[in-house]
Structure 1
Amino acid sequence: MRKVILSMIAGAVFMVSCGPKSVAVTGPKYTASEQLTQGKTIFENSCSRCHKLPNPVKHDDQGWIKTLSRMAPKAKLSDEQHQMVYDYLISVNKK
């Protein structure tokens, strides 16, 4: 009986871990100055905890998608915060 219960728990944990992941940023969503300002604040506060802030013109829009997809989980950003940071970066990026 104990083995059956442990197997069921292990199976449930496995199924939850295979569930849908957070939605990736695929393009701009926010354009209001309030959200862009929030994106700038999140970028400055979250990213500078671990390293020097990169120049927004360092990457083009697609480059920021790749970079933020890798870094947002490390910074523990929510999907909405991730999107706001991306939108801020591309708003100041003229590439």
Structure 2
Amino acid sequence: MKAKILTLAAITLLAVSCGTKKTASTPATPATPAVTETAKAVELTPELAAGKSMYENNCAKCHKLYEPKKFTQEEWAPILVRMQKKAHLDDTQMASITSYIHSQL
């Protein structure tokens, strides 16, 4: 009985440690080049930096962040409207996020 419990514990520990390591390393790798590319694309003014900060802090709470260039300006419009309601952002905050995303296109 002890052997079964120890074997089960070892398998569980192995599965958890592999899953955690994989999850932790996956988001860190693409985030670093994206920040570098974004910084090179447009010099961020204080307003755009605030928009970027709001985008990263509010949107990443619920899902992964999309590269602004993944969608066109027309495709971003309905996405931002829908997300404004879900994230409970006011018009000023949303305008700042929208300005940041449009500056990166």
TM-score interval for Structure 1 and Structure 2 normalised by the shorter chain? 0.5 to 0.7
Structure of higher RCO (CA pairs closer than 8 Å, 6+ residues apart): 1
Q: Calculate the TM-score normalised by the size of structure 1.
A: 0.62
Alignment correspondent of 2:49? 37
Once residues 99 and 73 of structure 2 are traced to their aligned partners in structure 1, the CA distance between those partners, rounded to angstroms, is: 9
Percent identity of paired positions between Structure 1 and Structure 2: 37
Once residues 47 and 75 of structure 2 are traced to their aligned partners in structure 1, the CA distance between those partners, rounded to angstroms, is: 21
Misfit runs of 4+, over 4 Å: none
Alignment correspondent of 1:56? 68
Counterpart mapping for 1:77-88 below 5 A: 77-88=89-100
Shift in Å at residue 62 of structure 1? Answer: 1.4
Once residues 95 and 65 of structure 2 are traced to their aligned partners in structure 1, the CA distance between those partners, rounded to angstroms, is: 18
Query: Which ranges of structure 1 fall in alignment gaps of 5 or more residues?
Result: 1-31
Query: Which ranges of structure 2 fall in alignment gaps of 5 or more residues?
Result: 1-43
Aligned CA-pair RMSD: 1.2
Give 1:36's aligned amino acid.
L
* Structure label with greater radius of gyration: 2
Shift in Å at residue 78 of structure 1? Answer: 0.8
Q: What number of residue pairs does the alignment pair up?
A: 62
- Which one has a larger percent helix, Structure 1 or Structure 2? 2
